[in-house]
C-alpha cells in the first residue's frame, strides 16, 4: 500500500483514479480499530492490487486533507474513480468483509 500525503494525494489518488479505481485507508497510529483492520486491508490490497490501487493516509499528519475529504471518524475507507470520491465506509465496527464487498463494486 502506498503512503499518501498532502504533497502527493492529487497525483496518486485523484489523477490515478482516472485510469483505475483507488481506495484510500484513512487511519491514525493511535486508532486501535484502524490498527486491527490494517493487516486485513493489506491482504485485500494484495488480492485486488491488479484491479485497484490501494493507498493509506495518516490523518495525524494530514488533518486538513482528511477534513477536505469529509473524513470525520476512523477507520474510514474512501473509494475514488475518475478524480472523484464515489463511496465511503467508516466506523469502529467496519469489517474486512464490508470493505471487500465495496471493492468488488468498483473493479
pLDDT tens column, 25-52: 999 999 999 999 999 999 999 999 999 9
What are the residue ranges in the chain where pLDDT is below 70?
Answer: none
pTM value?
Answer: 0.97
Per-residue pLDDT, 7 = 97
- Quickly tell me which residue has 479505481 as its cell: 21
Q: Where are the domains of the chain?
A: 2-92
Q: Strands (DSSP E) along the chain, which ranges?
A: 2-3, 22-27, 53-58, 76-81, 84-90
Per-residue pLDDT, 22 = 98
Closest to 107 in 3D by CA, of 80, 83, 67: 80
Per-residue pLDDT, 15 = 98
By annotation, the residues acting in catalysis are 31, 34
Q: Can you tell me the distance from the alpha carbon of 49 to that of 94, in angstroms, rounded to the nearest whole number?
A: 21
Identify the three-state secondary structure at position 44: helix
CATH superfamily of this structure's domain 2-92: Glutaredoxin (3.40.30.10)
Amino acid at each position: 500500500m502506498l503512503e499518501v500525503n498532502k504533497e502527493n494525494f492529487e497525483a496518486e489518488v485523484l489523477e490515478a483514479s482516472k485510469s483505475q479505481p483507488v481506495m484510500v485507508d484513512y487511519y491514525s497510529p493511535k486508532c486501535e480499530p484502524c490498527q486491527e483492520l490494517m493487516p486485513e486491508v493489506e491482504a485485500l490490497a494484495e488480492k485486488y492490487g491488479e484491479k485497484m490501487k490501494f493507498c493509506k493516509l495518516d490523518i495525524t499528519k494530514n488533518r486538513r486533507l482528511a477534513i477536505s475529504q469529509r473524513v470525520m471518524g476512523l477507520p474510514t475507507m474512501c473509494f475514488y474513480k475518475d478524480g472523484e470520491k464515489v463511496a465511503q465506509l467508516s466506523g469502529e465496527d467496519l469489517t474486512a468483509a464490508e470493505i471487500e464487498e465495496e471493492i468488488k463494486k468498483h473493479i
